[in-house]
Copies of this chain bind each other. A is one copy, B any other.
Amino acid sequence: MWVPGAEGRQALAVAMAAAATLAVAMAARRWRRRPVREVLFFPSPPSCTEALLAEAAGTGAPAQPCPCPLPSSDCPLSRLLRRLLSARRSLDICLFAFSCPQLGLAVRLLHRRGVRVRVVTDAQYMGLRGSQIGLLRQAGIQVRHDQGQGYMHHKFAIVDRRMLITGSLNWTTQAIQSNRENVLVVEDAEYAKLYLDEFERIWEEYNPTNYKFVSQGQ
């Protein structure tokens, strides 16, 4: 058996100190806040989001609880709202259909809070009854749309250029309350960049200066 002398012990101490430093660094890396990874499945049961939105508006909890009979429990819609309301700097939305009032309110709240909100949507759907697009524009939010060749059928959003929210869900009450839908939430630099690049391509292509006003028959 090899028994180290004084020098051997000194060398081993050096090696052990290095190993300890490495172990601490690896543990710190492991315990860093875990990136968001979540999947939301719909339909979401009808629920009251008044308290959640009041809190986000900075008006504090309402003095009286909402008198509506709906529960304000945790559900896929409230989770989606929380993810969106976590935005601090930017929210880029690329959405075929947007008519859900609660999600519309959340987006306008973020705009009022100074978050840079941009919305891309589908030209054919945005004028339908119940669409939130008019309200977003009235609030001063920039919205751009396609020019009608095929559908702008994406359903994704990117929060603070780092968290991707994507799936099958259009932001409509019908889809949220009645359909089988999925939304994948992932805080991942690689995926966020790919979707942001797509957003920027579409944003530029749908720049109003590129619109062609061609009358029918031409």
Which residues of A are interface residues toward B (Cβ below 8 A)? Answer: 2, 4-5, 7-12, 14-15, 18-19, 37, 39, 41, 43, 94, 96, 146, 149-156, 166-169, 174-175, 177-182, 184, 190-191, 194-195, 198, 202
A2 cross-chain contacts in B, Cβ below 8 A: 10
A4 cross-chain contacts in B, Cβ below 8 A: 7, 10-11
* Cross-chain contact A184 with B184 (CB below 8 angstroms): yes
A9 cross-chain contacts in B, Cβ below 8 A: 11
Q: How far is the CA of A93 from the CA of B15 in the complex (A)?
A: 54
Q: How far is the CA of A32 from the CA of B5 in the complex (A)?
A: 41
| A181: nearest chain-B partner, CB-CB | B153
Q: How far is the CA of A191 from the CA of B167 in the complex (A)?
A: 13
Q: How far is the CA of A184 from the CA of B14 in the complex (A)?
A: 48
| A193: nearest chain-B partner, CB-CB | B39
A8 cross-chain contacts in B, Cβ below 8 A: 7-8, 10-11
* Cross-chain contact A198 with B41 (CB below 8 angstroms): yes
| A182: nearest chain-B partner, CB-CB | B154
* Cross-chain contact A181 with B167 (CB below 8 angstroms): no
| A167: nearest chain-B partner, CB-CB | B166
Q: How far is the CB of A165 from chain B (nearest CB, A)?
A: 11
Q: How far is the CB of A99 from chain B (nearest CB, A)?
A: 15
A149 cross-chain contacts in B, Cβ below 8 A: 178
* Cross-chain contact A191 with B96 (CB below 8 angstroms): no
Q: How far is the CA of A153 from the CA of B170 in the complex (A)?
A: 10
CB-based closest 7 A-B pairs: A150-B178, A15-B15, A7-B8, A11-B11, A8-B11, A153-B179, A150-B179
Q: How far is the CB of A92 from chain B (nearest CB, A)?
A: 13
* Cross-chain contact A190 with B37 (CB below 8 angstroms): yes
| A2: nearest chain-B partner, CB-CB | B10
Q: Which of B5, B19, B174, B202 is within 8 Å of A180, CB to CB?
A: B202
